[in-house]
Amino acid sequence: MDKNKIKLGIAPIAWTNDDMPDLGAENTFEQCVSEMALAGFVGCEVGNKYPKDVATLKKALELRGLSIANQWFSSFVLTKPMEEVEKEFIAQCNFLKAMGAKTIGASEQSYSIQGQMNTPVFDNKYVMNDGEWEKFAKGMNRLGEIANSMGINLVFHHHMGTVVQTAEEVDRMMEMTDSDKFTLLFDSGHLAYCGQDYLAVLKKHADRVKHVHLKDIRPEVVAKVKSQKLSFLQGVREGAFTVPGDGCIDFAPIFEILEKSGYQGWMIVEAEQDPAKANPLEYAIKARKYIAQTAKL
């Protein structure tokens, strides 16, 4: 892939987990960003231990040659007043703009079970009806319009346990949204987790993919999550996710499709694990080496 078109980053979730703060509670923000830079990455997403003050965060990142690529946004288009969603969305876009970031990653959290510790992730996923699909698409187009007006790109993060999880749901979402306002965050790990053809999804929507998460899975752990009716969070604790090169996904075809589509922008290693079991620096280095070998980046 063209090194001039791609920036490589890593998510802080390997060091400290936003949904389960006890995972990585011992790891400081300074350790996290220092080790990101040490492993050879140039950017990151925003974690729960990051300073909220723009000047403080900028200084810490600039010292290490890092920049902010994206930040997760929990949207509740289906269940909150749109005015409330818009207000929160604008505030986060303003923060990202101040940090020099160009991307905000939304995930619809209405009816989500991803954060429920005891809800089986394979058995209890909410499925939208036609009316909800219409409301969802309209709301996402509106958020995309707001983001565009602020110089920010809205990318949507399909995710296990949410209303947009499967390939079919991704397809319907993309069909119902405006390509000028709404783009896709492609995440190989979440599609592989629920048994979907992630390469087919990428090929189909490559022209609207504007952000990439490089996430791998351990299939034996995913099988355990399914057979033992574990939750998404329990799966994380068990080690369902890992970095590229450590699981079952071959990323070479993913890189090839992205290159052929002319992809430009960030690719972010994202693999939430228990840092006590998977040393974050060790796994960050492992991922960086694999990407260098496989994508020539």
* pLDDT tens-place string over residues 199-244: 999 999 999 999 999 999 999 999 999 999 999 999 999 999 999 9
| Region of residue 296 (phi > 0: left; psi between -120 and 50: alpha; otherwise: beta) | left
Average pLDDT per run of 10 along the chain, which is 297 residues long? 96 96 97 98 97 98 98 98 98 98 98 97 97 98 98 98 98 98 98 98 98 98 98 98 98 98 98 97 98 98
> What pLDDT shows up at residue 293?
98
> What pLDDT shows up at residue 270?
97
> What pLDDT shows up at residue 262?
97
Eight-class DSSP state of 166:
S
Nearest-angstrom CA–CA distance, 85 and 92: 11
Nearest-angstrom CA–CA distance, 89 and 76: 11
